[in-house]
Amino acid sequence: MNKKHVAAAASLLFIGAAWAQSPVQSCNSASKPPFCNAVSGDRSQGWLTQHRSEVMARNGIVATSQPLAAQAGLDILKKGGNAIDAAVATAAMLSVVEPMNVGPAGDMFAIVYIAKENKLYALNASGKAPTGATVARMKKLGYVWNPKNWGPGSGMPEGGILTVTVPGAVWGWDEVQRRFGALTFKETLQPAIDYAEQGFPISERIAHDWELFPGLADTPSDPRKCCTQVDPDAVATWYIDGKQPVAGQIHRNPGLAKTFKILQQQGRDAFYKGEIAQAIIDKSNRHGGTMTLQDLASYSGEWTTPATTNYHGYDVFTLPPPAQTWVTPEILNILEVCVPQWTSGQTLAALGPANPQYWHLFVEAKKLAFNDLYAFNGDPNFTKVPLERLLSKAHAQSLCGKVDPNRATPTKPGGNADSEGDTIVLSTADRFGNMVAWVNSLYDGFGSGLTVPGYGLSLHNRGALFTLDPKSPNAIEPHKRPYNTLSAGFVMRNDKPLMAVTLMGGDVQAQGIAQVLVDIFDLGANLQAASDMARFRHTQVPNTLMLESQLAELVGAQLQAMGHEVRSMNGTPMGGFQAIMVAPDTGVYRAGSDHRKDGQAVGY
């Protein structure tokens, strides 16, 4: 070993020792450091509790939940890529740095605004159930519909091979880039390859979430064993020396780097028809799955038309079925039409977010809309979802009488159907005026819990949201897409683009997007303030209301007295907001990134 190598080794030992003795400690540790008793400092202007300013830029901007991923997207913009290319690069990087939430073997949706056409496109690249996925087969394996759970997922296991659907993300990445991108996988996947090979330090919130889903069984014929075993391939890929990593540790994923290199060379066909497809089927077969090579080879996503409504002069566009976000326009319609009736002519702005009735009425509007969501949502290729009727002002008007302005209304009684999955969202915009609202997911943490060895791929578990009620439009069926919690939105004003908006976090997504839009359009918040403001999360089955702790302290007792079952929570179940707004007169971009996550907005 020469002197240069000795010096480098000594430097690494010093860094390692310094890290081990670092004064930085976590409030999540058993013995909390004294700083956890401190109070937050104030800003010097504006809303004093806002966590940071909006990011503003003229040429391009990216907002997402991890800084390295945001910067990867920004680098693509600087190197000549457009907003679509930046979205692909950011999603690929997130698959490296936030792998419990996203990966190539998952789902994706996007709403893409193309400036030269002044037109919106919605892309559905969500997974389809494999051959053999039927209610009858699930019943034979011991899984049956639970009538106490009348929401999505009734009767289905939470993880394991029975929840795996054909992944759509790679098809979607390739499709959107082929149609609207300026670059190819060669350029957009390279940043992710570099970090997957060289490693990256795991950031703080992501380390907290980096926990393998314990939902695996090598013997799915025995449902009692559904949720007890952890996949050794998953442990080998995602843990370090067999242990869950902590913040600051370096993680590498050479298998994922290999997958991305194959995609660079062969495109999506390698994933759906080549060696990656074979590896996925081999993994599925070992765990009793029914997915076939033909299921993968025949997969395609589709371009669709966004769901839409007009809210106080703003045209709001969201993802259509089977994604849940079409219910966001219905929530907004109910608020617009019914709040003046419920309050003798007052508005949400007049009530204000310190008033318990503001939150009561918002939650009641959400309940009404989600009743429709649970009743009708499903794959539109298998069932008709009457969007035109459900998203009409007349339908909203018909629901106003179902709410008591001063008392919580019950939902149907039942057991837990809380969709607690996590995901990633991102928003991008470029110097040409193109904008993207993008959502990518494995559903639960590390999806099904099954990892394809040698390729760094977690198989998602979106099929857990099928129901085993044979009468439901969401009943499991081969080649059918399940009810999907993924959400993205876009806002136009006077036929001009205004905002790309995303918010992740299971069933909070649709209700969360409605909340931040009201924060902006009714209460006048900027994007970062709207992100920082406290949110609620209401679960339809059971009928429970989660409030962030300071909101619970402010109005929780009054809402409890109105009949709501209130729970005080930290920010974990409230999702993560990432959004970009463009000024119609100057073209300047403004962006906000949720402080509940590790991410940031960056621009140039």
**Structural domains present in the chain:** 63-303+423-465 (no CATH), 305-316+325-418+508-603 (1.10.246.130)
Question: Among 471, 459, 503, which Cα is nearest to 127's?
Answer: 459
CB distance 435 to 498 below 8 Å: no
pLDDT for the residue numbered 416: 61
pLDDT for the residue numbered 214: 52
Q: Is 518 left (phi over 0), alpha (psi -120 to 50) or beta?
A: alpha
Model confidence pLDDT, tens digit, residues 374-406: 999 999 999 999 999 999 999 999 999 999 999
Span of 280-294, 299-313, 324-338, 399-413 with lowest mean pLDDT: 399-413
Q: What is the number of other CB atoms lying within 10 angstroms of the CB of residue 514?
A: 28
Span of 20-34, 195-209, 397-411, 540-554 with lowest mean pLDDT: 20-34
Assess whether pLDDT exceeds 50 at residue 5. no
Q: Which amino acid is at 115?
A: A
Residues 6+ apart with CB under 8 A from 117: none
pTM listed for this prediction: 0.93
**Gap between the Cα atoms of 556 and 209, Å rounded:** 27
Q: What is the number of other CB atoms lying within 10 angstroms of the CB of residue 119?
A: 9
For the chain, state the CA radius of gyration. 23
Q: Which long-range contacts (CB under 8 A, 24 or more apart) does 580-583 make?
A: 580/61, 580/63, 580/427, 580/428, 580/429, 580/435, 580/499, 580/500, 580/527, 581/498, 581/499, 581/527, 582/429, 582/433, 582/435, 582/497, 582/498, 582/499
Token readout for 461 is 């578990």
Which single residue is written with the structure tokens 């330090």? Answer: 201
pLDDT band at 217 (very low <50, low <70, confident <90, very high): very low
pLDDT for the residue numbered 188: 98
Assess whether pLDDT exceeds 50 at residue 222. no
Enumerate the β-bridge partners of residue 592.
Answer: 579
**Gap between the Cα atoms of 77 and 73, Å rounded:** 7
pLDDT for the residue numbered 29: 75
Q: What stretch of H or E contains 600?
A: strand 600-603
Assess whether pLDDT exceeds 90 at residue 6. no
Token readout for 469 is 């009620």
Q: Beta strand pairing status for 566-569 and 544-548?
A: parallel
pLDDT for the residue numbered 13: 39
pLDDT for the residue numbered 9: 40
pLDDT band at 297 (very low <50, low <70, confident <90, very high): very high
pLDDT band at 424 (very low <50, low <70, confident <90, very high): very high
Span of 23-32, 353-362, 398-407, 583-592 with lowest mean pLDDT: 23-32
Q: Beta strand pairing status for 435-443 and 451-452?
A: unpaired
pLDDT for the residue numbered 431: 98
Span of 171-175, 253-257, 539-543 with lowest mean pLDDT: 539-543
